[in-house]
Chains A and B, each alone.
Chain A
């Protein structure tokens, strides 16, 4: 599990998080939603201790996937996955191979990351997170800029990770993905948690935070296979 109590963060004179109490438990996929600037990414960064002045959790236990998952060099997918072993200080093949298979990029292992599609890059970065074999996974919009099929695939991977007992916290802009895959939806608005419930139950609060109506319509949807 991972938790923070009374978390307040100020950056550049602006209060981004204001007394947030948050906890996420193993086996549960928690989605974080809210308008731009609500503090979702900051909460994630605070939980993994990469903001100045905050306590750092053990990097072997808590893994983080940034919103912009680009690599500076043309690393191969396998090299990217091996970066996940840095917290352990080893270069064990076993966890890396399992991670590549789990993320569905085993066949791309020797491909350079800068030659892959957006969806493949996200999966490679997820393999890096899996290779750490963390107890807690904190992921900032892992489905951003993915096509619907790739987004469903990534959410399916995270669903499976939570199913195997890990704590998974995901920032999601796509509320429909949270409804479909998350066990719990936490809604942030202006630095505060305004709802924390099962996704369907938290939906009215999410709608209010976005300044939208809450309702049903008859439009057909794209569904996962």
Chain B
């Protein structure tokens, strides 16, 4: 943490002074309407995804769990797609994040209903896979029936994920659910530690295991769902961050929660800096989507982790 927190501070400052308008402090209008929301949103989204990944991997006792597994990111994307589809996003800018949040909320309720009154790890995963599949099918349906090619292009680009061109209003909409989600996930730390010995042992230690799983599902829905609602499909952060931290912070799930928040924010800010620098130094006519970059960075990291696990 002594290394991660200063790194986060440095990256955030860099995110305020580096951008398409060049390097250095930009005009106030660019600073407040572009740089600050973009940096803040990267912090929020990265932190939310990092916390969700760490808590979910702890709760499911599986290093392969990703917040996207629960399907909430999918329903958030579906909500956003519907806002695009009906032209709501064009008519009223906040409609997009609001529809995404609504999608995440509906998804979270569906998940908790599908997983039943007494969820277990497998029931939660199965419910999430079902929800993802339904959301993906409906999303494909919306894409197929897109009213005009522009809407289709816009929607596809949005689904690739990013934090560029967002407003302070997007931050204000996403911050409460993401911060609440992170707080909820951190509060279940001892329960996650106990669950590492199995659900029965955790119960014998006085941990309400079903309540813990429901809290993890709800916290992930809030944090990762709101992240997807404002930033689209930013993948791999939730999956990769806890796996990257284990060699340094140990494998105890609760010990990974807070570092994963900070490291998630670091990773997303760093990826977003690469996006901005990429468009400055490479012959690109537009910024590469952030989700593409996190996936490109995340994939080799996962291969490295997989090789280490094999030993």
Contacts and interface: CB of A to CB of B under 8 A. Distances in A.
B197 A69 contact: yes
Given A71-B196, A72-B61, A87 B206 contact: yes
A109 to B, nearest CB: 13
A87 B205 contact: yes
A64 interface: yes
Interface in A169-208: none
A73 B204 contact: no
Interface in A17-59: 45, 48-50, 52, 56, 58-59
A161 interface: no
Interface string B65-88: 000000000000000000000000
B156 interface: no
A128 B197 CA distance: 11
Contacts of B154: none
Interface in A91-112: 112
Interface residues of B, number: 22
A121 to B, nearest CB: 11
A66 B198 CA distance: 9
B204 A70 contact: no
B206 A86 contact: yes
Contacts of B93: none
A76 interface: yes
Interface string B194-226: 111110110111110000000000000000000
Contacts of A69: 197, 201
B205 A74 contact: no
A59 B204 contact: yes
Interface in B235-258: 246, 250-253
- The binding surface of chain A is classed by DSSP as loop
A63 interface: yes
A83 B251 CA distance: 13
Nearest to A62: B204
Given A68-B198, A74-B251, A76-B250, A86 B193 contact: yes
Nearest to A138: B204
Given A59-B206, A63-B204, A64-B204, A70 B198 contact: yes
A48 B204 contact: yes
Given A83-B205, A86-B190, A86-B205, A75 B196 contact: yes
Contacts of B205: 59, 83-84, 86-87, 132
A75 B206 contact: no
A66 B201 contact: yes
A79 interface: yes
A123 to B, nearest CB: 15
B204 A50 contact: yes
Which residue among A83, A84, A132 has the maximum number of chain B CB atoms within 10 Å of its CB? A83
A65 to B, nearest CB: 8
Nearest to B251: A73
Give me the 3 closest cross-chain CB pairs, A-B, nearest first: A59-B206, A72-B61, A73-B251
Interface of A: 45, 48-50, 52, 56, 58-60, 62-66, 68-76, 79-80, 83-84, 86-87, 89, 112, 125, 128, 132
9 contacts: A71-B197, A72-B62, A72-B197, A72-B198, A74-B246, A74-B251, A79-B250, A80-B197, A128-B197
Given A48-B204, A86-B205, 5 more contacts: A50-B204, A64-B204, A65-B201, A74-B251, A132-B205
